[in-house]
Amino acid sequence: MSKNTDNNISRRRFLRDLGIFSGAAVAGSALTMCKSVAAPEKEGKDGEKGMTMRVNPNSNDTVSILGYGCMRFPTMGLSSGKADDDRLDQEAINASVDAALEGGVNYFDTSPAYCKGNSEAAIGEALSRHPRESYYIATKLSNFAPQTWTTEASKEMFENSLKNLRTDYVDYYLLHAIGMGGVDAFNQRYVDNGILPWLVEQKEKGRIRNLGFSFHGPRKSFDEFMAMMDRGEIHWDFVQIQLNYMDWLHAEEGSDSNTNADYLYSELHKRGIPVVIMEPLLGGRLASVAAPVAAKMKERRPDDSTASWAFRFAGSPEGVLTVLSGMTYMEHLRDNLTTYSPLDPVSDDEKAFLERCALEILQNNLVPCTNCKYCMPCPYGIDIPGTFKHYNTCINEGNAPRDGEDPDYRRARRAFLYGYDRSVPRLRQATRCISCGTCTSHCPQSIDIPTELHRIDAYIESLKQNLI
Ligand code: SF4
Ligand code: SF4
């Protein structure tokens, strides 16, 4: 795969303009956790370190360790201030994609389900302005709804993806979010309708280059998907999993529907299956952790962002092909390029430090919501992710008083309640949840959504009535 060489701006100058080579970003590495398999680092054009690249041992694709997640594209509302204008801002997307490519990113991950169905067309337009061989595109068979389980509907979804992406082949094609609903759901979506053999056929025809899946679910389901490969029924060319320093050892705590990332990763790595990482930041939660944890991170690496710790952790295991980040703002892209140009893998000592951070974060009883919005819309209008986000943010920022003894009680109480009304309109607040349960089965994090909403609502009522 060749890179686009028609650009007049030198890569070195471009990265310098973005601030990539300032501070500790290029600090020498005394690093031991992992070395990448084949091409841990690539020299930039001018001899400086560029983006860390990984080689897919199955296809020989050279893939940037930073992958561009196309789930959280900027909307027109972000620039106009009209929050309900959720049309995608194509100009901003084009600019961000151009900057990502220039910074060395070459893997773009989308789905027919992202951005209310508009993500594929938006990234298709942005990427079509560049040579096809300068990037890899990943998309998914997102046939969640029963009406899309038929052979015809699933084939149509694949063909529409090609059209929207303005291409005649997909580099990485995923069965989207398998594991939820176990093997029965997998059979309904991919086996009983004959779509899996059809996809294998498309791979033989070159319309799909790598076939894999993304996973959310319990160990039992994951083991079954691995066993399919062990029995020679299918070859998984790659697998996408949720991996971050919280989920590494703690995804199974309080839930029998999730699997720890260290287990998922080791099962894949021992089979030589390249691993794509999603949710390295847990939907943004690891970009703004509780103040005491953030302070400890700053003390260790003063020039680094809180998010960079999570990205370094996610990219460190040698079997990781790429780490997806949904970059809504150019600042996110800049920070990620800094972190990964090149990646400074976490040392064993830093890994132990991050585990201590995880334990401290867990004590705060945050809602493990990643803001994916798969639970939306709620038929009763509840803003589920908005409510969880406000609650988590207030805890992290010290605006959720635990009791009336808190010396900062009055200020924090006010910040929580006023902020809640500002970020979630009253008609969409937790108190209106009737526990119908429609949302719960859609949540890839297995959150008991009505229970969590009622827990938060009870807390809010206590604050309102000055009972705590
Ligand atoms: S359980 Fe509550 S939040 Fe979920 S769909 Fe029903 S009313 Fe909406
Ligand atoms: S509650 Fe679950 S489905 Fe809804 S946005 Fe959060 S993680 Fe996604």
Nearest CA to ligand 2 atom 7: 369
Is there an atom of ligand 1 within 6 Å of 384 CB?
A: yes
pTM of the model: 0.84
Tokens of 156: 């149509």
Q: If you ran DSSP here, which 8-state letter would residue 378 be given?
A: P
Cα 140 to Cα 71: distance, rounded to the nearest angstrom: 12
Contact 342, 50 (CB under 8 A): yes
Nearest CA to ligand 1 atom 6: 436
Per-residue pLDDT of the chain in tens (468 residues, 90 and over written 9): 333 333 333 333 333 333 332 222 222 222 223 333 433 444 444 445 699 999 999 999 999 999 999 999 999 988 787 777 889 999 999 999 999 999 999 999 999 999 999 999 999 999 999 999 999 999 999 998 899 999 999 999 999 999 999 999 999 999 999 998 889 999 999 999 999 999 999 999 999 999 999 999 999 999 999 999 999 999 999 999 999 999 999 999 877 889 999 999 999 999 999 999 999 999 888 998 988 999 999 999 999 999 999 999 999 999 999 999 999 999 999 999 999 999 999 999 999 999 999 999 999 889 989 999 999 999 999 999 999 999 999 998 889 987 777 788 899 999 999 999 999 999 999 999 999 999 998 998 889 999 999 999 999 999 998 877
Number of helices and strands (H, E) in the chain?
17, 10
Consecutive H or E run containing 8: none
Name the closest ligand to CA 443: 2
> Ligand 2 centre from 250 Cα, in Å?
18
Tell which phi-psi region holds residue 57, choosing left (phi > 0), alpha (psi between -120 and 50) or beta: alpha
Name the closest ligand to CA 378: 1
Contact 63, 53 (CB under 8 A): yes
Tell which phi-psi region holds residue 377, choosing left (phi > 0), alpha (psi between -120 and 50) or beta: beta
Cα 117 to Cα 368: distance, rounded to the nearest angstrom: 25
Contacts of 273 (CB under 8 A, 6+ apart): 212, 229, 236, 237, 238, 239, 319
Locate the ligand 2 atom nearest the alpha carbon of residue 443 and give its number: 3
Locate the ligand 1 atom nearest the alpha carbon of residue 435 and give its number: 1
Is there an atom of ligand 1 within 6 Å of 439 CB?
A: yes
Nearest CA to ligand 2 atom 6: 369
Query: Residues lining ligand 2, judged by CB closer than 6 Å?
Result: 369-375, 384-385, 388, 442-443, 445, 447, 449
* Domains along the sequence of the chain with CATH: 11-362 (3.20.20.100), 384-464 (no CATH)
AA identity, residue 102: E
Contact 242, 278 (CB under 8 A): yes
Contact 139, 165 (CB under 8 A): yes
Strands (E), 309-387: 320-326
> Ligand 2 centre from 444 Cα, in Å?
7
> Ligand 1 centre from 412 Cα, in Å?
28
